[in-house]
Structure formats: structure tokens, C-alpha cells
Amino acid sequence: MSTEYELQAKYSDAVQIYLAAKQAEAAAKKEKVEKWTVERKTQDGTKEYYLAWAEINKAAMTFTEKVEQRYTAAYTIHSLYADCMKYMHGADSKEAQIAQHRAELAHTREFVYSDSSPYWIKWYKLCSKVWWVYYEFRAEGYDKVAAELIGQGKRFGII
């Protein structure tokens, strides 16, 4: 088992990773908002319109990945904190049990909030990717292929 100093060093490193993930998430959210601003300046049905929507969905996918990274970093922090509590107070202590429970709860975070609704992260990334490709096809004039893609997405329950 690690020493208290090693555990605290790992915990400090995990906190730094979490803070970096939080900043990356904020930057991705800002980019997503900027893409919406660009879309509002385009005319419906034009190539620029479809490319703007492709970029919106690409940014949404990136944002979701950053949220997922932050959740992973949060789990690491809680897991290391639980290890510290076990080391300091013993594995059967109330402090260690509470910390372990918190780590387990952090591990179950699989949802992202977008447009004020919760979505399962894996589904939201896949859905964003489908729409991203759809709008790329529309921008290039492949309307039939785009319609087929959406039909397949609906058949499989992605969109």
C-alpha cells in the first residue's frame, strides 16, 4: 500500500487533472455557443447553413467528450480520497466507507445536460456524430444519402 505522502501526491495530481478538464469543458462549451452564433447568421438551406450545423454537432460531440473526461477525473479524485481515508482511519472506518460510497457514486455519472435535458453520454455523442455527418452530406449536395442516414438512425433509435 502507498504511503500517506504518495497518496496525497496522487490526490494533488488528480485535482490538477480535474481542474484542467473543467477548463477544457468550459472552453468546449464556449465554442459550442460560438457555433450557434455563426449558424444564426446563415440563410436556411444554403451550404453555409449546413456546414454551420455540422460544426454545431461536432462542437456538441467535443463538449460531451470533455464532460466525460471531467467525470472520469472526478471519479479518480474520489477514489484516491477513499484510499487516503482507508490509510488514515482504516478500511472499516466510517470515514473510509463514506469516501468509498462517494467514489462509487462518482463512477456512475453517465449523463450530460444539454438544452436543459439529461442525455446518456454515449448516446449523445453518437447522435451528435450522426447529425454532424448528415449536415456534411447536405452541404455537399448528397441529400438522398443524408436522408438515408437519418432513416437508419431512426430505425436504430439513435435519433
Report how far residue 159's alpha carbon sits from residue 147's, in angstroms, rounded to the nearest whole number: 13
Report how far residue 59's alpha carbon sits from residue 53's, in angstroms, rounded to the nearest whole number: 10
Q: How far, in whole angstroms, is CA 32 from its chain's centroid?
A: 13
Report how far residue 53's alpha carbon sits from residue 46's, in angstroms, rounded to the nearest whole number: 11
Looking at the chain, which runs of residues are DSSP E strands? 111-114, 117-120
15: buried, middle or exposed (CB in 10 Å: 19+, 13-18, 0-12)?
Answer: middle
Report how far residue 111's alpha carbon sits from residue 106's, in angstroms, rounded to the nearest whole number: 11
pTM comes to 0.80
Per-residue pLDDT of the chain (159 residues; tens, 9 = 90+): 568 889 889 999 999 999 999 999 999 999 999 999 999 999 999 999 999 999 999 999 999 999 889 999 999 999 999 999 999 999 999 999 999 988 888 877 766 666 656 667 778 888 899 999 999 999 999 999 999 999 988 888 777
Report how far residue 134's alpha carbon sits from residue 140's, in angstroms, rounded to the nearest whole number: 10
Give pLDDT, residue 116: 58
Report how far residue 105's alpha carbon sits from residue 4's, in angstroms, rounded to the nearest whole number: 24
